[in-house]
Amino acid sequence: MRIVFFGTPQFAVPSLEALIAQPEFDVAAVVTQPDKRRGRGKQVMPSPVKQIATDANLPVWQPKRIKKDAATLDHLAALNADAFVVVAYGQILSTQILTMPRLGCVNAHGSLLPKYRGAAPIQWCLYHGETETGIDTMLMDAGMDTGPVLLEGKRPIGLLDNALDLAKDLAAISAELLPATLQQLDAGSLTPKPQNDDAATYAPLIQKADYQLDWTKSAIALHNQIRGFYPNCMTTFRDKEMKLEATVPLGDNYWPQLPEDYQGLQSHLPSTASDSEPGTVVAIAKNRGPIIQTGDGWLLLQTVKPSGKKAQSGWDFANGNRLEIGERLG
């Protein structure tokens, strides 16, 4: 089966590797986003997908705007591909492109559709506190993730999972589902299942304002924001910006979901409802870190990244700064 692979970030790499590895697929070309400046040195770097394609000696095309790039469109049409496979490519495909392959364009999307259509499904499903997500393969149409679903793989979400954890696991599920989807689609043994548009929710691009933490929110809302938008959520400490990379919500609602070694933190919590202002350090748990009063409940700071410093444990942060109970974040 002759295919063209469209993808850009690390999330798409396992899927491309799985298709390259199986002899029944001929990856005729790879389409990815143009090289970008990355890292502290701002050096021009290829996308992770391009690196894999180059190592495999595959043709790579990097149009800035694929819908208007005549040369790329001519290349794609000339291949007479059986299918185009799309995993986190980063550009919208035109109807002209969608109708080129014999079997159509197959996309692996990081949610259980029709929930979380759009650019950031993994992040927003965590933000909203979902307890399950997955990968859906689907036939693409002109809408935004509105095409009929082909195969589905699910993954439960634990209380301490973050966006990176989910992305790694969902990328592996995508790599399992795509070969099976293509084989069954080619054999005519798959029945595409239309989505229920009335149940659709959306996962837009993350904006800078989404990273700002408001301590008047509940502990679970803040925790979901921090793990969903990992590792970029921001607060302030002693008038300087600080990122929070990992937190743990504490209280009766969460003990059953936490590993056993967290149970000892119960003794650090106030015995009655605290009248401290949201953002206040109400306790410092030995070998764990500071516990913060929120608008509803308490939040343990497990990993933080102060301005200009490397990420560190909450305990090292508390010790290094001689943190005192009563200090406030935000």
Which amino acid is present at 250? L
Place of tokens 């979380």: 116
Residue 111 marked as a ligand binder: yes
Q: What is the CATH number of domain 2-203?
A: 3.40.50.170
Rounded CA-CA distance 302/246 in Å is 5
Structure tokens at 261: 């070694």
Residue 14 marked as a ligand binder: no
pLDDT of residue 272: 63
For domain 208-320, give the fold: Methionyl-tRNA Fmet Formyltransferase; Chain A, domain 2 (3.10.25)
Rounded CA-CA distance 2/82 in Å is 5
Q: Where are the alpha helices (DSSP H) in 188-288?
A: 219-228
DSSP codes of every residue in 28-66: EEEE-PPPEEETTTTEEE--HHHHHHHHTT--EE--SSG
Pinpoint the residues of the chain covered by CATH 3.10.25.10.
208-320
Pinpoint the residues of the chain covered by CATH 3.40.50.170.
2-203
pTM: 0.95
What does residue 216 show for φ and ψ, rounded to 5 degrees?
-75, -10
Rounded CA-CA distance 9/327 in Å is 40
Task: Walk along the chain (330 residues) and give the pLDDT tens digit of each residue.
Answer: 999 999 999 999 999 999 999 999 999 999 999 999 877 777 889 999 999 999 999 999 999 999 999 999 999 999 999 999 999 999 999 999 999 999 999 999 999 999 999 999 999 999 999 999 999 999 999 999 999 999 999 999 999 999 999 999 999 999 999 999 999 999 999 999 999 999 999 999 999 999 999 999 999 999 999 999 999 999 999 999 999 999 999 999 999 999 998 988 998 888 766 689 999 999 999 999 999 999 999 999 999 999 999 999 999 999 999 999 999 999
